[in-house]
Structure 1
Amino acid sequence: MKSSQNERVPLLKQCVGQLGLALTVGLLRLFAVLPYGWVARLGHAVGTMLYAIPSSRKHIALVNLRLCFPDKSAREYDDLARAHFQHVIRSYFERGIQWFGSEQSLQKLVRIESRIDLEAQDAAPTIFLGFHFVSIEVRCILYSTRLPAASLYTRMSNERLCEVARRQRGRFGAQMIERSTSARKIVGLLRSGIPVMLAADMDHGIENSVFVPFFGVPACTLTSVSRLAKLAGARVVPFVTQVLPDYQGYKLTVYEPLSGFPSESDTLDASRINALLETLIRPCPEQYYWVHRRFKSRPAGEAGVY
């Protein structure tokens, strides 16, 4: 009898997991057909409620904000962290239209400002350098409605949800490439004329990373951008997607290629990327992904911060 009960536990977990995934996907499909303003406001409200509940992510966000903006008051930290939670939860709700919305509905929501010709036929191999603002997903999905593209992603712990995300992010033709893929494949895509989108502003451990300042705090920063640019002879084009006020959608800004990049020093290049990111965060700090443990890895001898 005991053995039979033990055998039923994995099956029960599997059923619950499948039910949870089906419910999640069902809600996202529903959000894709509802008016964008309704969905965004609902996500904002849920974010406000969740911020009122103690959680590890709330703690992480507050630690990050105190480290990066040491001159703020306790009230300012609280207000900024609350606004961030509202944006983060809202962004999860907006995955509905991002993952399941039509091409036309996405295009209506995004205002594009580009300092380069995005459709130039003779463009050099291009790395589009993104950063983890709450609306980062919009960029790759929108670009792939126009031209071939590839995008690096990090595998989620939930394999089934990860597969849904991979499929929906690439539904207009973008090649979704897991971050652990060999550099040779990525370089091959770049040399063949397919732009590759990646973000290098999260802490993935000390391998292939250096410690450089981020708002004055040593941050473990990937050197992959420099290495791939050198191998492929690629230009590096920064971009950022920001949430517009009053539920108007998003603004996608594509900047000019970084001049003199890569240099001979991966450390110098990583420092330059972090400095650029700081300038992009300052106008809208509530939209950057502070719930990530950006300072998880510490230089030798330094204590953990979380």
Structure 2
Amino acid sequence: MDRPVFRAYFLHPRFWLLWLGLGLLWLIAQLPYKVLLWLGRGLGALMYRLASARRKIAARNLELCFPQMAAAEREALLKENFASTGITFFEMAMAWWWPAERLRRLGTIEGLEHLRQAEADGQGVILMALHFTTLEMGGGLLGMAQNMYGMYRPHKNPLFDYVQRRGREQRLLGVIGRDDVRGMLKLLRAGGVVWYAPDQDYGAQRSLFVPLFGVPAATVTATGKFARMGRAQVIPFTQQRLPDGQGYRLVIHPPLADFPTQSEEVDCLRVNQWVEQAVRACPEQYLWAHRRFKTRPDGEPKLYKKKR
């Protein structure tokens, strides 16, 4: 994709409120890191009370994925998850706007040798990330240590899309549109690294239904296809916000062995098993407010209540 370009249209009065919000966020982001964590937790508590639709979705996901957990324990996890989601807004600002040296001090990276080995072997890498609330921080921190591109889904608001792309491309070599298959394969075959997350519900058309936490979930087949057609390794990548303001631990895990196979179903199941493993290690920081199980197999009932 071409670099984002500022347009005079962004000065239209319809965007003034967004400009005000972005400016306020930039100012707040200059505060010390531990203050931002405290403010984020407060914002999350407010969201828990006011964002009832998202709260119900997250609660339903936790109920589906952790049915053995006591109701009180799930409720505590839900509140902690909203606290993590509140922090996300300030992490986004830090990842986009903090000076590189200030941001770099917050992260430690383990497993870079897996990327270096793939580079030495002349292989491209699908850096398989997940939609944790710390996603922007993980990409920003790793992007300063590793040349890589990111898969990208345009935002509906053109001004926010411009700001988001510009912020991400401060740390990345560039971004690739989610539907730009040709561009993705070209980068992989040239030995590039592409940051990519396959763990959301994109509908039945490009997916197979395989279990995720024991629930049939529409799972994109693209991970195996990209790996096969791009002659690339799939290397999982996670990040975790550490307690007490200690920063972030980024882990580049060993490549998935014997992947892809000749079976798309086996590949999709392998991806979901990895998702489960990573989410169980840090459930409070996962993006539970996404309707991960909204697409159902034919004949199966909906798992979320209809929007009013």
- Normalising to structure 2: TM-score of the pair? 0.90
Give the match for residue 275 of structure 1. 273
* Corresponding position of 2:104: 107
| Matching residue of 1:249 | 247
Alpha carbons 1:47, 1:86 under 8 Å: kept: yes
Determine which of 10, 13, 19 is the counterpart of 1:22.
Answer: 19
* Higher alpha-carbon Rg: 1
Pairwise mapping of residues 194-205 of structure 1 onto structure 2 (< 5 A)? 194-205=192-203
Q: How does 1:136-285 map to 2 (within 5 A)?
A: 136-181=135-180, 183-285=181-283
Partner SS for 1:116? helix
Identify the residue that residue 41 of structure 1 maps to in structure 2. 38
The residue type paired with residue 305 of structure 1 is: L
1:21-41 C-alpha deviation (Å, 9 max, x unpaired)? 212221232233211111111
| Contact 1:61 1:290 (C-alpha < 8 Å) held by counterparts | yes
Q: How many residues align?
A: 292
Secondary structure of 2:108's counterpart equals: strand
**Rounded Cα–Cα distance in structure 1 between residues aligned with 2:172 and 2:280:** 34
- Residues 125 and 193, structure 1, Cα contact 8 Å, conserved in 2: yes
Unaligned 5+ runs, structure 1: 1-13
The answer to whether the 8 A contact 1:150-1:195 is kept is yes
Q: Distance in 1 between matches of 2:146 and 2:244?
A: 30
Give the superposition deviation at 1:94.
1.7
- C-alpha change, 1:113 and 1:302, in structure 2 (3 Å) is same
Q: Distance in 1 between matches of 2:20 and 2:239?
A: 28
SS in 1 for 2:85: helix
Q: Contact between 1:127 and 1:236, CA under 8 Å: does it hold in 2? A: yes
Q: Which runs of 5+ in 2 are unaligned?
A: 1-11
Cα distance in 2 between the residues matched to 1:24 and 1:18:
10
1:88 aligns with 2:85: yes
Is the Cα contact below 8 Å between 1:28 and 1:95 reproduced in 2?
A: no
TM-score, with structure 1 as normaliser: 0.91
Contact 2:114/2:255 (8 A) holds in 1: no
1:78 aligns with 2:75: yes
* Percent of matched pairs sharing the same residue: 37
Deviations 1:220-263 (A, max 9, x none): 11111100000011010001011111121111011010000001
1:303 counterpart SS class: coil
4+ residue runs over 2 A deviation: 115-121, 138-148
Q: 1:28 to 1:245 in 2, by over 3 A?
A: same
Q: Which amino acid aligns with 1:60?
A: I
- Write the mapping of 1:113-128 to structure 2, written as runs, cut at 5 A: 113-114=110-111, 116-119=113-116, 121-123=119-121, 124-128=123-127
> Is the Cα–Cα contact under 8 Å of residues 28 and 97 in structure 1 kept in the other structure?
no
> Any conservation in 1 of the 2:201–2:292 contact (CA below 8 Å)?
yes
Q: Which residue of 2 aligns with 1:9?
A: none
